[in-house]
Amino acid sequence: MKGPVVVVTGASAVTALGRTLPDTRDALASGKSAVAPIEGPGVPERRDRSPAARIGSFTTEPELPKSKARRLDRGSQYAMVAARQCLADAGYAMKGREERTGILFGTGSAGAGPLTEFERQMVESPESASPFLFPNTVSNAPASQAAIELGIKGPNVTITQKDPAPLNALFYGRMLVADGRADALLVGAADEWNLDYHLAYERVRATRTATRPGFVLGEGAAVILVEDEDAARARGARIAARVASVVSWGAPVSPQRRRADPATLAGVVRAALEEAGAAPGDVGLVHLSRNGVPATDSAEDAALASVFGPEPPRAVSIKDALGENPAIAAVQLALAADALRAEPTLGAVLVNAFGAGGNFLAAVLTAP
Amino acid sequence: MAGRRVVVTGLGAVTSLGKDLRSTWEGLVEGRSGIGPITLFDSSNFRTHLAAEIRELPEGVEPPLRRRLSRTDVIGLAAAAEALADSGLDLDREEPARIGVVLGAGVSGLLDSENYLRALLAKGPRGARPTRVLNHPPDQTTDRIAERWGFRGPRSTITTACSSSATSLGYAADLIRHGLCDVVVTGGADTFARLTHGGFNALRSVDPEPCRPFDRRRKGLTIGEAAGILVLEEEEHARRRGARPRARFLGYAVTSDAHHMTQPEPTGEAGARTLSACLAAAGLNPENVDYVNAHGTATPQNDSAETAAIKRALGPRAYEIPTSSIKSMLGHCLCSAGAIEAVATVLTIETGIVPPTISWGERDPECDLDVVPNVARKTRVRAALSNSFAFGGNSTVVAFGAA
Check: CB of residue B205 under 8 Å from CB of residue A136.
Answer: no
| Domain identity same for A229 and A83 | yes
Residue B266 neighbours by CB distance under 10 Å: 14
Examine the residue annotation and report whether B237 is marked as an active-site residue of this protein.
Answer: no
Of A190, A207, A214, A219, the C-alpha closest to A54 is: A219
Of B223, B211, B227, the C-alpha closest to B325 is: B211
Residue B251: closest CA among chain A residues belongs to which residue?
A179
Distance CA B309, CA B321 (A): 14
Range B251-401 has CATH code 3.10.20.740: no
Q: What is the mean pLDDT of residues B230-250?
A: 98
Min Cα–Cα distance to chain A from B383, Å? 22
Of A234, A256, A291, the residue that ends a domain is A234
Instruction: Report the amino acid identity of residue A91.
Output: G
Examine the residue annotation and report whether B333 is marked as an active-site residue of this protein.
Answer: no
Per cent of chain A over pLDDT 70 is 99
Active-site annotation holder among B162, B181, B211, B335 = B162
Does A162 lie at the interface with B, CB-CB under 8 angstroms? yes
CB contact under 8 A, B160 and A144: yes
Q: How confident is the model at residue A3 (pLDDT cuts 50, 70, 90)?
A: low
Does A213 lie at the interface with B, CB-CB under 8 angstroms? no
Domain locations in chain B as residue ranges: 6-240, 251-401
B158, B159, B178, best to mutate vs chain A, most A CBs in 10 Å: B159
Contacts of B206 (CB under 8 A, 6+ apart): B47, B48, B197, B200, B220, B221, B222, B223
**pLDDT at residue B80 tops 60:** yes
**pLDDT at residue B221 tops 70:** yes
Which residue among A161, A179, A256 sits closest to B155, beta carbon to beta carbon?
Answer: A161
pTM above 0.90, yes or no: yes
For all residues of chain A together, what is the average pLDDT?
96
Which residue among B100, B156, B258 sits closest to A153, beta carbon to beta carbon?
Answer: B258
Residue-wise pLDDT tens digits, A302-347: 999 999 999 999 999 999 999 999 999 999 999 999 999 999 999 9
Asked whether residue A209 is domain-assigned, the answer is yes
| Domain identity same for A187 and A311 | no
For all residues of chain B together, what is the average pLDDT?
96
Which residue among B116, B154, B178 sits closest to A250, beta carbon to beta carbon?
Answer: B154
| Domain identity same for A198 and A279 | no
Does B68 lie at the interface with A, CB-CB under 8 angstroms? no
| Domain identity same for A198 and A261 | no
Contacts of B317 (CB under 8 A, 6+ apart): B286, B287, B289
Within the 218-277 window of chain B, which residues sit less than 8 Å (CB to CB) from chain A? 253-262, 270, 273
Predicted pLDDT at B2:
56
Does A48 lie at the interface with B, CB-CB under 8 angstroms? no
| Domain identity same for A75 and A194 | yes
**pLDDT at residue B49 tops 70:** yes
Of B206, B189, B207, B190, the C-alpha closest to B198 is: B206
Asked whether residue A239 is domain-assigned, the answer is no
Taken in order B228, A361, A106, B397, is the CA torsion positive or negative? negative
What's the total number of domains in chain A?
Answer: 2
| Domain identity same for A75 and A212 | yes
Examine the residue annotation and report whether B162 is marked as an active-site residue of this protein.
Answer: yes
Residue-wise pLDDT tens digits, A210-261: 999 999 999 999 999 999 999 999 999 999 999 999 999 999 999 989 999 9
CB contact under 8 A, A134 and B203: yes
Q: Please tell me what DSSP assigns to residue A62.
A: T
Residue B285 neighbours by CB distance under 10 Å: 13
CB contact under 8 A, A250 and B146: yes
Distance CA B7, CA B186 (A): 12
**Least confidently predicted of A24-28, A201-205, B262-266:** A201-205
Q: How confident is the model at residue A4 (pLDDT cuts 50, 70, 90)?
A: low
Cis peptide bond prior to B373, omega within 30° of 0: no
Q: What is the mean pLDDT of residues B173-183?
A: 98
Domain range holding A37? 6-234
SS3 A13: strand
Asked whether residue A111 is domain-assigned, the answer is yes
Of A278, A284, A265, the C-alpha closest to A361 is: A265
SS3 B223: strand
**Max Cα-Cα span within chain A:** 64
Predicted pLDDT at B18:
97
**pLDDT at residue B124 tops 90:** no
Active-site annotation holder among B197, B237, B332, B367 = B332
| Domain identity same for A14 and A127 | yes
In this structure, chain A runs to a length of: 368
Predicted pLDDT at A127:
82
Residue B118: closest CA among chain A residues belongs to which residue?
A123
Q: What is the mean pLDDT of residues A150-163?
A: 98
**pLDDT at residue B115 tops 60:** yes
Chain A residues in contact with B97 (beta carbon < 8 A) = 249
Chain B residues in contact with A156 (beta carbon < 8 A) = 160, 254-256, 392-394
Of B15, B23, B82, B28, the C-alpha closest to B55 is: B15
Predicted pLDDT at B120:
83
Predicted pLDDT at A45:
82
CB contact under 8 A, B261 and A136: yes
| Domain identity same for A115 and A40 | yes
SS3 B37: strand
| Domain identity same for A154 and A303 | no
| Domain identity same for A305 and A350 | yes
Residue B121: closest CA among chain A residues belongs to which residue?
A120
**pLDDT at residue B1 tops 60:** no
Range B6-240 has CATH code 3.40.47.10: yes
Chain B residues in contact with A249 (beta carbon < 8 A) = 97, 152-154
Per cent of chain A over pLDDT 90 is 92
Distance CA A361, CA A275 (A): 13
**pLDDT at residue A2 tops 80:** no
Torsion (CA) A170, A176, A180, A186 in degrees, nearest 10: -50
Predicted pLDDT at A1:
47
**pLDDT at residue B131 tops 80:** no
CA distances from B18 to A284, B9, B192, B297, B300 (A): 57, 21, 16, 21, 29
Does B49 lie at the interface with A, CB-CB under 8 angstroms? no
A2, A172, A246, A256, best to mutate vs chain B, most B CBs in 10 Å: A172
The CATH number linked to A82 is 3.40.47.10
**Least confidently predicted of A212-221, B84-93, B112-121, B300-309:** B112-121
**pLDDT at residue A138 tops 80:** yes
CA distances from A134 to A71, A112, B53, B76, B310 (A): 12, 11, 21, 25, 28
Alpha helices in chain A (DSSP H): 21-29, 66-69, 74-90, 112-124, 141-150, 165-178, 195-203, 229-234, 262-276, 294-308, 319-322, 326-342
Residue A160: closest CA among chain B residues belongs to which residue?
B157
CB contact under 8 A, B194 and A119: yes
Asked whether residue A297 is domain-assigned, the answer is yes
Q: How confident is the model at residue B182 (pLDDT cuts 50, 70, 90)?
A: very high
Q: B377-378 and B383-390 as β-strands: parallel, antiparallel, unpaired? A: unpaired
| Domain identity same for A48 and A189 | yes
Asked whether residue A1 is domain-assigned, the answer is no
Q: What is the mean pLDDT of residues A56-71?
A: 95
Q: How confident is the model at residue B130 (pLDDT cuts 50, 70, 90)?
A: confident
Check: CB of residue B17 under 8 Å from CB of residue B329.
Answer: yes
Residue B144: closest CA among chain A residues belongs to which residue?
A255
Min Cα–Cα distance to chain A from B178, Å? 7
| Domain identity same for A172 and A255 | no
In degrees rounded to 5, what are phi and psi of residue A108?
-115, -25
Min Cα–Cα distance to chain B from A115, Å? 8
